[in-house]
Amino acid sequence: MEYIKKAELSFEEVSDQKRVIVEGILKDIEARGEEAVRELAKKFDNWEGDFILSEEKKQALIAQVPQRVKDDLQFAYDQVFGFAKAQRESIVEFEKETLEGVRLGQKVIPMEVAGCYVPGGRFAHACSAIMSVATAKAAGVKTVVACSPPRGESIAPAVVYAMELAGADIIIEMGGVQAIATMAFGLFSGKPANILVGPGNAFVAEAKAILAGTGRCAIDVFAGPTESSVIADKTADPMTVAIDLVSQAEHGLDSPVWLHTDCRELAEKVNELMPKVIADMPDPDTPATSWRDFGEIVLCEDREEVAKVSDQYASEHVQVMAEDLDWWTQRLTNYGSLFLGEGSTVPQGDKCSGTNHILPTKKAGYMSGGLNVHKFLKIMTYQEIKPEANKVVSGAASRLSRVEGMEGHARACDWRLRKFFPNEEWD
Ligand code: NAD
């Protein structure tokens, strides 16, 4: 393995430093509640207005959204909600008699309240509102609280429209760590979230992770600053690769993009093209900096090594522009979402193709996929052990309880054995 271009900074170290800042902010909110939140909203977003979006203001904002934008958001909603509904149907309730007189079952119960964070610092991420809110609703979540940072006088109108379209019940004009804490603690709305979902910058992602660690609520996944990689072989078009890498480097200064290839000629060509494609962007500084600081081109021996390296990076998005797409689909195991073939590009999934764009970053792809309908569902089990089945189940449970030194447990089982089978001997 050889670096044709190596990152100058470690993006993991850069985001780790933010955790300390976030811990301090969360402690302050825990101690002072809504008062602290008001101060933080003023400090970080220069916001002093109401937080809960009124019906009147919501309708006025929605009226500003051009019909074409509404139509495109409707298309995105239909795809994302449809895919989420199919996911919901893939998980079923069932009951099974596993032994004579032993009835075991599984129920699927949606969480009551979801807090959906919709990022809005650098861009107005309208499609992100659909990704989280529509998926929560497809799962059957009763109350969805959605937060997004105000940009000027309000949340961007297209974001408000997307939240409304997807079914948000309460909209809060707030961003950052204070918004995450507001949803977790139920500040202003009186509805503490059972789960916090949605992407965000490193502050937002760290806040979700810290709150999940307290056991207060669940989270979808560590969905921080966007990462993207392209796997390409000799058949790939270098310009398409460079354009796709730059498209993802525009997310922010801390968004890494990587090329993994087994073709030296392609690696060198893409390395040459990157500065040119970046220079042609309307805001070249952001992709230029993220490419300089975090961008990498890794040249591998063969496709097996490319796959191994790609799995080590576990990038949020992995695009494959190589022969034998089925081999790659079978072989790759760590990533947020896969984009197969030259016709597929991350922005399609990001906006409207139907899969969710809230995806694992910082190697969270080692243990989780992205947001999906199952994250909002509780798989609950139940059982009925008929008296006659106690002979088998309580006998074993009693003996196993004593192996573990749990006499009270053993006696609960022994009691049943003597009660249901009074004429038998039990050791
Ligand atoms: P954001 O809404 O995530 O963050 C903006 C908020 O950050 C502001 O409201 C402010 O309150 C807070 N903030 C800003 N500076 C701060 C500081 N110094 N200390 C504490 N809080 C501060 O919007 P953004 O900043 O534009 O970031 C969006 C992020 O979402 C990007 O990093 C993008 O890559 C990422 N993203 C990730 C995914 C995913 O699935 N992983 C998907 C889409 C977007």
pLDDT tens string 351-388:
999 999 999 999 999 999 999 999 999 999 999 999 99
CA separation for the pair 218, 227 (Å, rounded): 23
For the Cβ of 132 lying below 6 angstroms from any atom of ligand 1, the answer is no
- Judged by DSSP in three states, 383 sits in strand
Return the closest-CA partner of residue 155 out of 187, 201, 200, 124.
Answer: 124
Return the closest-CA partner of residue 318 out of 303, 326, 329.
Answer: 329
Give residues with Cβ within 8 angstroms of 163, minimum separation 6. 118, 129, 133, 146, 148, 155, 171
Which pLDDT band, with edges at 50, 70 and 90, does 24 fall under?
A: very high
Mean pLDDT of the chain: 96
Is the pLDDT score of 15 beyond 80?
no
For the Cβ of 45 lying below 6 angstroms from any atom of ligand 1, the answer is yes
Is the pLDDT score of 186 beyond 70?
yes
**Residue 269 CA, ligand 1 centroid: distance in Å:** 33
What's the pLDDT score for residue 18?
87
Contact 257, 229 (CB under 8 A): yes
Residue 376 has φ and ψ, to the nearest 5°, of -90, 0
CA separation for the pair 228, 335 (Å, rounded): 10
Dihedral angle, C-alpha 286, 287, 292, 293, nearest 10 ° = 60
**Residue 301 CA, ligand 1 centroid: distance in Å:** 37
**Residue 120 CA, ligand 1 centroid: distance in Å:** 7
Q: What is the mean pLDDT of residues 323-327?
A: 98
What strand order describes the sheet that includes 170-173?
A: 170-173, 143-148, 113-117, 195-197, 218-219
Copy the structure tokens of residue 388: 């006659």
Q: Which of 14, 203, 318, 337 to mutate to test the pocket of ligand 1 (most atoms within 8 A of CB)?
A: 203
CA separation for the pair 62, 269 (Å, rounded): 46
Copy the structure tokens of residue 319: 């695009």
Nearest residue (CA) to ligand 1, atom 20: 203
For the Cβ of 290 lying below 6 angstroms from any atom of ligand 1, the answer is no
Return the closest-CA partner of residue 113 out of 212, 227, 192.
Answer: 192
Contact 236, 322 (CB under 8 A): yes
Which pLDDT band, with edges at 50, 70 and 90, does 334 fall under?
A: very high
Q: What is the mean pLDDT of residues 383-400?
A: 97
The atom of ligand 1 lying closest to the CA of 223 is 41
- Burial label, 338 (beta-carbon count in 10 A; 0-12, 13-18, 19+): middle
CA separation for the pair 367, 347 (Å, rounded): 24
For the Cβ of 228 lying below 6 angstroms from any atom of ligand 1, the answer is no
Which pLDDT band, with edges at 50, 70 and 90, does 12 fall under?
A: low
For the Cβ of 83 lying below 6 angstroms from any atom of ligand 1, the answer is no
Nearest residue (CA) to ligand 1, atom 7: 176
DSSP state of 322: S
**Residue 46 CA, ligand 1 centroid: distance in Å:** 16
> What global pTM score does this model have?
0.94
Distance of CA 3 to the CA centre of its chain: 30
What's the pLDDT score for residue 182?
98
The atom of ligand 1 lying closest to the CA of 117 is 2
Q: Give the pLDDT confidence of 264-287 residue by residue, as tens digits.
A: 999 999 999 999 999 999 999 999
Give residues with Cβ within 8 angstroms of 312, minimum separation 6. 334
Q: Give the pLDDT confidence of 217-253 residue by residue, as tens digits.
A: 999 999 999 999 999 999 999 999 999 999 999 999 9
The atom of ligand 1 lying closest to the CA of 316 is 41
Which pLDDT band, with edges at 50, 70 and 90, does 14 fall under?
A: low
Please measure the distance between the N-terminal and C-terminal CA atoms of the chain and give it in whole angstroms.
65
CA separation for the pair 75, 69 (Å, rounded): 10
Nearest residue (CA) to ligand 1, atom 33: 225
The atom of ligand 1 lying closest to the CA of 224 is 41
For the Cβ of 164 lying below 6 angstroms from any atom of ligand 1, the answer is no
For the Cβ of 203 lying below 6 angstroms from any atom of ligand 1, the answer is yes
The atom of ligand 1 lying closest to the CA of 148 is 2
Catalytic machinery residues = 316-317
Contact 154, 57 (CB under 8 A): yes
Q: What is the mean pLDDT of residues 393-406?
A: 97
Give residues with Cβ within 8 angstroms of 61, minimum separation 6. 154, 155, 157, 160, 161
Q: Which of 48, 116, 151, 201 to mutate to test the pocket of ligand 1 (most atoms within 8 A of CB)?
A: 201
What's the pLDDT score for residue 11?
66
**Residue 123 CA, ligand 1 centroid: distance in Å:** 9
H/E run at residue 228: strand 228-232
For the Cβ of 41 lying below 6 angstroms from any atom of ligand 1, the answer is no
Is the pLDDT score of 309 beyond 70?
yes
Give residues with Cβ within 8 angstroms of 353, minimum separation 6. 79
Q: Burial code of 394-418, b = ≥16 C-beta within 10 A, e = fewer? A: bbebbeebeeeeeeeebeebbebbe
What's the pLDDT score for residue 425?
85
Which pLDDT band, with edges at 50, 70 and 90, does 9 fall under?
A: confident
**Residue 21 CA, ligand 1 centroid: distance in Å:** 14
For the Cβ of 249 lying below 6 angstroms from any atom of ligand 1, the answer is no
How many CB atoms are located within 10 Å of the residue 206 CB?
25
How many CB atoms are located within 10 Å of the residue 64 CB?
13
**Residue 122 CA, ligand 1 centroid: distance in Å:** 7
**Residue 382 CA, ligand 1 centroid: distance in Å:** 41
The atom of ligand 1 lying closest to the CA of 205 is 3
At 90, the amino acid letter reads: S
For the Cβ of 349 lying below 6 angstroms from any atom of ligand 1, the answer is no
Is the pLDDT score of 422 beyond 90?
yes
